[in-house]
Structure 1
């Protein structure tokens, strides 16, 4: 089963975000979707966010699932993993335990999908704005190299490389399966590691939806 065959709608693209509690998964998604940030922490069960991008000269809807605390509901998490087209595993650069837990999340994805060789997958070190780091950049790069995926450091608080994170993920989908053709326009490329030499291409166009069309829904 290929990652594209999972979707019922070719214009839907499902991204699954995994990571320990309080690493900033919801903050990254809120920053990306709404352009806002909240300092307060609220535990998440499982939320899905949407954003529209231009792919192959047509509109594609990103469905981004924040698995949050769904470890209490393994069936719900496994369904999200099974349906996902791409994956982000997020940790806090200020929390070593959250970095070590990535092995568990990676194993969970592999146990459901069997392989990630043709699936866009990225390691994300969030909260790079915090001065007291517990995980070095070299450790994040080494883990990404071990898994053969890309690595990027972000700050949801300061909106650092949040947009680039999702542009890179779509770029990886383009490179792996060649099913998503990039739309009009260009943007700066992310400063991330790539296991292969990339080809030169345009970046996807991310569209800001009217506030009335932006929404977040709870999956039951």
Structure 2
């Protein structure tokens, strides 16, 4: 069962997401938050597996809330998907830099949102299928020399992850365990100064390491 929380200051939008989530046999609704501070509290108290986070909320916004949740080391952290009404929004790039695992447009279809929840929960990243190139350019930081700090095996895992493979697929391709893949990915992100697999893909794309 995947527990899903929603942070958004629009009650009708939250109610719609709640109905959609509760209609699915493999999803469980974990609660709502009307602002960023409540979102941080929801992440700590309800421990959702996935948190849908609006970027623009009163008080603490979705970017600051994402940063606060990522700093929390008291338990398992949720996968965070930020929601926005704009597909060319620098705030989206800022949220992904803060540690979000992807972003969706609020006008996405219910099927797309449900698929995104399951995909993020499985360890993948989700990017709304519009203006991806512009977003990657906004995210990427040119540090090709940092690649030299990776071991041979880490470079192999890096390129597989940059192609969008999940941990299981990487393990089968590289003939290593999923636990070893996770360890390599953590090391790669640390060495490259990245905080999520979305940023890893953006880094690889902008530096011409994958197409």
TM-score > 0.5 by shorter chain:
no
The structure whose Rg is larger is 2
Which of the pair has the greater relative contact order for Cα pairs under 8 Å at 6+ separation? 1
Q: Identify, as 1 or 2, the structure richer in strand.
A: 1
TM-score where L is the length of structure 1: 0.43
* Structure (1/2) with the larger helix percentage: 2
